[in-house]
Structure 1
Amino acid sequence: MSARGSVTAGRARSSSRDSILDSAGRLFGERGYSSVTVRDIASAAGVSAALVMKLYGSKEKLFAVAKPTEALLTDLDVPVSELGAALVFCVLMRRERGLREPWAMMPCTIQDTPRPEATRAKTRERYLAGTAGLMKDTTPDLRYASTVVALMTGFGEAVRTLGLFDGWDFDELVAHYAAIVQAQIDACQLAGQD
């Protein structure tokens, strides 16, 4: 192989590695370790599963080097009927991975800025607009999205700051708290049908 061919192959391999890591991080962040397959990652990265295995050796080794994406709102791509579970799952996955928790940090971040009122307004708008868009809340006061933001902020604080759910089974906690969040999302869907 010529020097030029070797450089081109190296770039392609580097590009494939980046694509695989990005795809793995996004998928692990969205769905967790056990719900993601090597084939899922390969498909999302546009490469073969064999190349993923050649470059990383195993799903476990890939998981160790991938940086799960911190999906808060914009990266969620789930049906509205599963939104509560996805929101709760993401908080718990960030806890499991030792990643920062935006829901828990939001109140402190607002108070620590030089202009808390302006920051509060921007943050409220971003979180409300994002949540309302995901759950299709078109009420004039965004009452359902407001409730979901309040529930998730409280959950983030309870999980990360207070450690209230430390002894719970992961899946049991997702099901339990997701039902509370999903009740507001479902109520919003019913209100929109009137």
Structure 2
Amino acid sequence: MSAREAILAAAHGLFGARGYRAVTVREIAAAAGCSPALVIKHFGSKEQLFAQTRPDDALTHAITAPRSELGEALVFRVLMRRERGLPEPWTTMSRNVRELPDSEAARDATREQLLAWMADLMGDTSPGRRHAEVVCALMLGLAEGTRTLGLLAAPGWHFDDAVRHYGAIVQAEIDRVP
């Protein structure tokens, strides 16, 4: 692995787990086994490095579920990451957009990337990708609610029940796509 690849891998993991503000160039360099100067030499700045790592790209990894099961597949991913204590891309994406120095540009770029991915995944060609936008909002709410407030984890909620229940809500919007 080249130094550049090691830096990208280290930055991806750290930004994905802790967010843009909480990570320093020194920490990235230490995790990559190089100097902070080499990080800056390769990427120019922490912001430029962040733009190349896309720590929220875990959202867009291939989902192989058929469209009729897509709602549950999306919800399953969020709840399974919570169960395993893994970073949640839906929540880190929001936090990272708020933390970047040019958050408006980051918001626009992230929104476009996310909506393009979701619209493609669900076959949404509606004006403004309205159905994809609603599904993204539902998923962001699920991720924040389960991580921040512990929703869908109280006694009486079993993992499979939560996946089926919330998955049906998400699926209802997916099914509205002609």
TM > 0.5:
yes
Runs of 4+ in 1 over 2 A off after TM superposition: 70-74
How far did 1:183 drift?
A: 0.3
How far did 1:107 drift?
A: 1.9
Pair 1:106 & 2:93 matched: yes
Q: How does 1:84-103 map to 2 (within 5 A)?
A: 84-103=71-90
Secondary structure in structure 1 of the residue aligned to 2:128 = coil
Please give the alpha-carbon distance, in whole angstroms, between the structure 1 residues aligned to 2:137 and 2:113. Answer: 14
Do the aligned partners of 1:128 and 1:145 also contact (CA within 8 Å) in 2? yes
Alignment RMSD: 1.3
Do the aligned partners of 1:103 and 1:156 also contact (CA within 8 Å) in 2? yes
Percent same amino acid at aligned positions? 54
Amino acid at match of 2:135: V
Secondary structure in structure 2 of the residue aligned to 1:141 = helix
In structure 2, the partner of 1:178 is 167
In structure 2, the partner of 1:130 is 117
How far did 1:121 drift?
A: 0.8
Provide Cα deviations, 1:133-165, integer angstroms capped at 9, x if missing partner.
010000121000000000000000001111111
Compute the TM-score of the two structures, normalised by the length of structure 2.
0.65
How far did 1:171 drift?
A: 0.2
Secondary structure in structure 1 of the residue aligned to 2:176 = helix
In structure 1, the partner of 2:132 is 145
Provide Cα deviations, 1:29-56, integer angstroms capped at 9, x if missing partner.
xxxxxxxxxxxxxxxxxxxxxxxxxxxx
Compute the TM-score of the two structures, normalised by the length of structure 1.
0.60
Amino acid at match of 2:176: A
Amino acid at match of 2:110: T
Pair 1:83 & 2:82 matched: no
Please give the alpha-carbon distance, in whole angstroms, between the structure 1 residues aligned to 2:107 and 2:162. Answer: 30
In structure 1, the partner of 2:9 is none
Q: How does 1:28-67 map to 2 (within 5 A)?
A: none
Count how many residue pairs are aligned between Structure 1 and Structure 2.
120
Instruction: Tell me which structure has the larger Cα radius of gyration.
Output: 1
Secondary structure in structure 1 of the residue aligned to 2:175 = helix
Secondary structure in structure 2 of the residue aligned to 1:78 = coil
5+ residue gaps in structure 1?
1-69
Do the aligned partners of 2:135 and 2:173 also contact (CA within 8 Å) in 1? yes
Please give the alpha-carbon distance, in whole angstroms, between the structure 1 residues aligned to 2:64 and 2:111. Answer: 22
Secondary structure in structure 1 of the residue aligned to 2:60 = coil
